[in-house]
Amino acid sequence: MSDSTGTNFQSLPQLPTGENMEKVKSMVDSMLLDDAAVQKMMSVLESEMKKGMSKDESIRKTSSCQMENTYVTQLLDGTEEGDYLALDLGGTNFRVLLVKFRQGKAESISRNYNLTKEQLHGPCEGVFDHLARSIGKFLQEENITNRLPLGFTFSFPMTQNALNCGVLVTWTKSFKCPDGVGQDAVKMLEDAIAKIGGINVDIVAVLNDTTGTLAAGSYLDHQCEIGMILGTGSNAAYMEYLTHMEKWEGPIDSPKQQVAIDIEWGAFGDNGSLDWLKTDYDIEVDLHSNHVHSFTFEKLFSGMYIGEIVRLCLLHLQKDGLIFKGGVSDKFSNRWIFTASHVSVIEEDNLKGTSEKLDGVLKELDMQNMVSESDKDVIKYTCAVVSLRAAQIIGAATAVLLNHISKPEVTVAIDGSLYKYHPKLHDLLMGVISKLSPSTKCKLILAEDGSGRGAGFVAAVATRLQKQH
C-alpha cells in the first residue's frame, strides 16, 4: 500500500503475527504522518517563510523561520577563473583552503587547525587572532604572495547586512566567548589580520554552511537551487526571487533576479506552530536536549536526535510488556546512547533481510542476551518507521521549496552525515518528493564540503560580480 504522500509502506519490514505484534505495530505506526498532517505541515512552513520575508518587522518577529538574506545573488556559471581562499569555522577544528579555478574546473587544498579550550572560552579577540595567524601560516606554507579574495564560512547564527557583513547573534556549539555577540564577524577578522600585518587577503563574503552547500551544488549541477544540511542538525537555503522577498532593500534589476535565502529551518516551529505534530517521544527528546524549546524542526529527524526517538519508543513498548521481557541493560537506559549511526546500520540489515549489524549494535549496548528474535524484528521495524517519518518530514519541507521555486527541473544539494550514511534515506525522500511536488523533476545530489569549498566558490562569484559592476 502507498499513500498520496509517496510513503511506500511496503518498504517497511514485516513483523511476526500475533496480538502483541498488532499492538506494537499500532503504537509504532502512530508516529507516521497521514496525508492531512503532511499537507498541514507544508502549509505551516509556507506561511512561516512568507512571514519571515515580510517588510513589516512586527510580522517577521512572529515567524520561526529567520529567512536570512545572504546577499548571494548568483551562483557559479562556469566562467570562474583564478585562485580563491576559504576559511571554514564551525567548531573546535577549522580549515583554511585554497580553491583554484581553471577553465571552470575547481581543485582545492586545505589544512586543518585547532582552537584551544582557552581560546573557545576566552575573549573572542583570541579566536580571531588565531584565525588570522593560521591564514598567514597557510599563505606562507603554500608560498602565496599575491592578494587573494577570501570567503568566510562562519557557522553561527548571524544577521547579514551585506555579502561581507555578518553580525553574530549567539555563539553555539563549544564556543563560550563572553563577548562578540552583536559584532560583525568579518570586521573582527579584518581587525585581527590588520594587527598581524603582511596577510594579503580581501574578505569578500561571509556565509553559513548551508549557503556554501548551495554554492557547492551549483558547481556540480547548474540546475541546483536548494542547498541542505542533513547531519547532526538541519538547515536549508534556496534561490528566491527578489520580488517575493518583501524585506529586500536594494534595487531589483529584473523580475527574474534572485538571492540565496538561508531559511534557518532547524528552528521552524519554535513559536509553537508545530506543537500539534510532536509525539510524546519528541517532547521528551526536547526536554532533555541541550537547547530546550528550540530547534524544534531538526529535533524531529536530524542525526543528533533520530536514535533517541527510536530508543524512547522501544522503552515505551518495553514498559507496556510488549518487548524486552528480560528488561534492558544499564547502557541502553542511558539517554543518547542509541545514535543515528545505529539506525543507519540497522536499516542496512533491513535492506539485506539480515540481523548481522543489529547483533553488533546489541553487543555494543550489552543487550545481546536480553533480546528475543521477535524483539529484533521490532527494533528493525521501529528504525524503519522513524526513518520513514524523517523522510516524510524532510521530503514535505523540500516539496514546499520546489513548489515555491516552480521550475521544471531543480537539483537539491545535500551535505551531512545523516544523508550520506543512511542507506535508505535518499530513496525514501525521492518517493515523498515526487508525490508532493509532481510538476518538478527533482534530483538530490551529495555535495560534500559545502562549508569549505563552498566558501571559496562564493568568493569566486563575489569577485565575478564585483568585476561586472
Let me know if residue 301 belongs to a domain: no
Let me know if residue 157 belongs to a domain: yes
**Is 341 one of the annotated active-site residues of the chain?**
no
Q: What pLDDT, on the 0 to 100 scale, is given for residue 174?
A: 85
**Is 209 one of the annotated active-site residues of the chain?**
yes
CB-based burial label for 430 (10 Å; 0-12, 13-18, 19+):
middle
Q: Sign of torsion, CA 415 418 421 422?
A: negative
Q: Which helix (H) or strand (E) holds 228?
A: strand 224-230
Q: What pLDDT, on the 0 to 100 scale, is given for residue 3?
A: 53
C-alpha distances in Å from residue 353, one per residue of 25, 326, 407: 19, 25, 39
Let me know if residue 220 belongs to a domain: no
Q: What pLDDT, on the 0 to 100 scale, is given for residue 9?
A: 60
Let me know if residue 380 belongs to a domain: no
Q: What percent of the chain has pLDDT over 70?
A: 98
* pLDDT tens per residue, range 5-60: 545 566 799 999 999 999 999 999 999 999 999 999 999 999 999 999 999 999 99
Let me know if residue 95 belongs to a domain: yes
Q: What pLDDT, on the 0 to 100 scale, is given for residue 8?
A: 54
Q: Is 201 helix (H, G, I), strand (E, B) or coil?
A: strand
Domain housing 189: 74-215+449-463
Whether residue 314 is predicted with pLDDT greater than 60 in this model: the reply is yes
Catalytic residue among 63, 64, 88, 95: 95
In this structure, how many other beta carbons lie within 10 angstroms of the beta carbon of residue 406?
11
Q: In sequence order, what DSSP letters do the residues of 376-435 get, joined into one string?
A: HHHHHHHHHHHHHHHHHHHHHHHHHHHHHH--SEEEEEEESHHHHH-TTHHHHHHHHHHH
Give the separation between CA 465 and CA 469, rounded to whole angstroms. 7
* pLDDT tens per residue, range 99-118: 999 998 999 999 999 999 99
Taking each helix axis as running N to C, give the angle between helix 373-405 and helix 306-319, from 0 to 180 degrees, rounded to the nearest 10: 140
Catalytic residue among 88, 129, 184, 209: 209
**Is 311 one of the annotated active-site residues of the chain?**
no
* pLDDT tens per residue, range 165-204: 999 998 888 899 999 999 999 999 999 999 999 999 999 9
Catalytic residue among 155, 302, 355, 451: 155
Confidence band for 1, pLDDT divided at 50, 70 and 90: very low
Q: What pLDDT, on the 0 to 100 scale, is given for residue 2?
A: 44
Length of the chain: 469
Let me know if residue 291 belongs to a domain: no
The number of domains in the chain is: 1
Let me know if residue 428 belongs to a domain: no
* pLDDT tens per residue, range 153-165: 999 889 999 999 9
Confidence band for 367, pLDDT divided at 50, 70 and 90: very high
C-alpha distances in Å from residue 23, one per residue of 18, 72, 148, 295, 310: 9, 52, 64, 32, 17
pTM of the model: 0.94
Q: What pLDDT, on the 0 to 100 scale, is given for residue 92?
A: 85
Confidence band for 291, pLDDT divided at 50, 70 and 90: confident
Q: Can you give the CATH number for the domain in which 80 is found?
A: 3.30.420.40
The mean pLDDT value of the chain amounts to 95
- DSSP β-bridge partners for residue 411: 224, 443
Let me know if residue 120 belongs to a domain: yes
